[in-house]
Amino acid sequence: MEPSRTRPESLFDGHTLEDHHANDSKTRYHMHTIPHSRSNKRDRLSNMNTKIDILRAQISKVYLGDSPAIDWIICCLLARGHVLLEDVPGVGKTLLASTLAKSIDCPFARIQLTPDMLPADLLGVSIFSNDGSSLRFMPGPIFTSILLADEINRTTPRTQSALLEAMSEAQVSIEGKTHKLNEPFMVVATQNPAEFEGTYPLPENQLDRFLMRISMGYPNARAEVELLDLRPATTVLENITPVIHADDVIAMQELVDKVHLSESIRQYIVEIARASRDSNEILVGLSPRGSLALAQACRAKAWMDGRDFVEPDDVLTLLVPVCAHRIVIDGAGTGAHWVLAAELIESIARLVPSPV
């Protein structure tokens, strides 16, 4: 059994609960100092969680679709990940991404990807100065904090690959020079299903850079009726103002990094990954990058739930959005393909003993 994780040692500034009760003098010392430290930590956590609640509520005013999609995109932000929103046209992919970006006080850029777009249209290009004596670098739209790459699978693989370094290392290399990107940096990409005409399916190495792939789905009947009256894309969205600052996001990301991932949870994630590699139904299983992504997403979810430790349920909840697009199975990347991949990774996880 794992030791109790409801009172981790970090809350006691390096002192255990047993030290706290060792003798009267130590008890008096802890009674004077520890509650103050613990209170400060809890107050800060509560303050940050309140900001997340405010962000979630604001997005919900504009995007009336599936509420888990809102939590997942916030989870990606806190985990320093990128998100791929995929579904049929008209279900609110761009609306969700735009609302998130406008709700944060940080630079935002939107690019509409097309077949004739070149990598330089994303990254930037060097041009001659006015006197023609030197080259001057003109940054492209990727030099922002939140980049909305709309219909990413309508541009060519050459242009798609221009995002690889940025998504992996938060930097781009242009003409022999490395340029750091903003902090925070997040790519929110939308794409139509691969069976639609005029699409270039993302290669596996590109898909692996996205922390989550989220299928939006249609809104329920009640939300769709409200949608007809509200018309959020042309009314509410224009009045959206930031509710959190970029510095708040960075601070939250640092807190997420400190969420405890016990040895048993780490072992659980690795066993699921190894089981996917051993499956006869999967051509390429979950990579170590996928294991790292799942672990970090679990930290973010635990933090959003007000915990400083990860539970097995966090792993199971995030398994499909984080892992299904990372495994390779027979068939084209159609909607049915993704459904089968999700079913396979879930069936594999059910065979792996849970640590609790």
How do residues 339-351 score in pLDDT, each as one tens digit?
888 999 999 999 9
Percent of the chain with pLDDT over 70: 83
β-sheet bridge partners, residue 110:
148
Tokens of 313: 């349920």
Rounded to whole angstroms, the Cα distance separating 230 from 311 reads: 39
Residue range 62-84: mean pLDDT, rounded: 91
Q: Given this structure, which CATH class describes domain 64-244?
A: alpha beta
When pLDDT is averaged across residues 303-326 and rounded to a whole number, the result is: 94
Position 14 scores a pLDDT of: 39
Report d(CA 209, CA 167) in Å as an integer: 6
Give the residue extent of every domain in the chain. 64-244, 258-356
| Nearest of 199, 240, 230, 212 to residue 65 by alpha carbon | 230
Distance CA(118)–CA(160), nearest Å, equals: 9
Q: From CA 41, how far away is CA 39, in angstroms rounded?
A: 5
Residue 149's H or E segment, with its range, is strand 146-150
pTM for this entry: 0.81
Q: What's the CA gap between 221 and 307, in Å, rounded?
A: 34
Task: Confirm if 256 and 78 have CB atoms less than 8 A apart.
Answer: yes
CA angle (72, 78, 84) in 5-degree steps: 45
Our CA angle for 182, 185, 188, nearest 5°, is 140
Beta carbons within 8 Å of 249's beta carbon, 6+ residues apart? 77, 78, 104, 106, 184
Q: What percent of the chain has pLDDT over 90?
A: 50
CA–CA separation, 110 vs 192, rounded Å? 17
Whole-angstrom distance, CA of residue 215 vs CA of residue 222: 20
Asked if residue 8 has pLDDT above 60, the reply is no
Q: Is the pLDDT of residue 143 over 60?
A: yes
More confident residue, 22 or 263: 263
Report the SS3 class of residue 171: strand
**Domain 258-356: homologous superfamily in CATH:** Magnesium chelatase subunit I, C-Terminal domain (1.10.8.80)
User: Taking a C-beta distance cutoff of 8 angstroms, is the pair 141, 109 a contact?
Assistant: yes
Residue range 284-304, pLDDT digits in tens? 999 999 999 999 999 999 999
